[in-house]
Amino acid sequence: MDDEDIIIEEDQDDFEETGFEGEELIIEQDEADAQEENNDNEEDENSTLTFQIYHGRIRNKFDGLPAMEQAIDKILKTERFVYPIYSDQYGNDLYDLIGEDRDYAVVEVERMITEALEADDRVEDVEVDTIEPLENNKLAVKGRCSTVYGDIAIDEEVNLNNES
């Protein structure tokens, strides 16, 4: 039997214009579920749920300021444009300073940290207080990041050497 010999008959009374009987009921249920989900999400608009990891195992979930501290630390340790799972706005450009002159790096590091952190909607303000040169061609950056959950201290070392 060839494919040409198969005849499929459809009873037009069983189908709506959209495809199959009962589809309208499914659409109504999906819209109700979506509305209920939206109501739940309105309460958690700025939710920052993350996991507490201890010795490589997830021990607890937490939210708020501790989760935001972890998010800021991760932003400052993640190179931008390298990991495809992140958007092009996530991470920092501090690795671009490797091999650059220290005076140039001092000028650029504040801008780079500010841009990296302010890409997160939960960050309200970033202030870099000091940028001090250290031995081995590193910079010590200290400051403060104001978030919707509170203030978080910034204490970061930026390496200008080409070390992995």
Which run of H or E residues covers position 30? helix 23-43
Instruction: Copy the structure tokens of residue 104.
Output: 């140039």
Tokens linked to 130: 């000091």
pLDDT at 157: 92
Closest CA to 45 of 112, 122, 119: 122
| Domain locations along the chain | 50-159
Q: At what angle do helices 65-77 and 102-118 cross, to 10 degrees?
A: 140
Query: How does pLDDT run across 35-67, given as a tens digit for each residue?
Result: 555 554 444 454 566 666 777 777 777 778 988
Residue 28 has pLDDT above 60, yes or no: no
Task: Return the amino acid letter for 72.
Answer: I
Q: Which amino acid is at 141?
A: V
CA 57, 63, 69, 73 dihedral sign is: positive
Between residues 66 and 116, which one has the greater pLDDT? 116
Task: Return the CATH fold of 50-159.
Answer: Nuclear Transport Factor 2; Chain: A, (3.10.450)
When pLDDT is averaged across residues 3-30 and rounded to a whole number, the result is 48
* pLDDT greater than 50 at residue 87: yes
User: Does residue 154 have a pLDDT over 90?
Assistant: yes
% of residues, the chain, pLDDT over 90: 40
Under a CB-based contact definition with an 8 Å cutoff, are residues 96 and 107 in contact?
A: no
pLDDT for 22: 47
Q: Could you give the CA distance from residue 15 to residue 10 in angstroms, rounded to a whole number?
A: 9
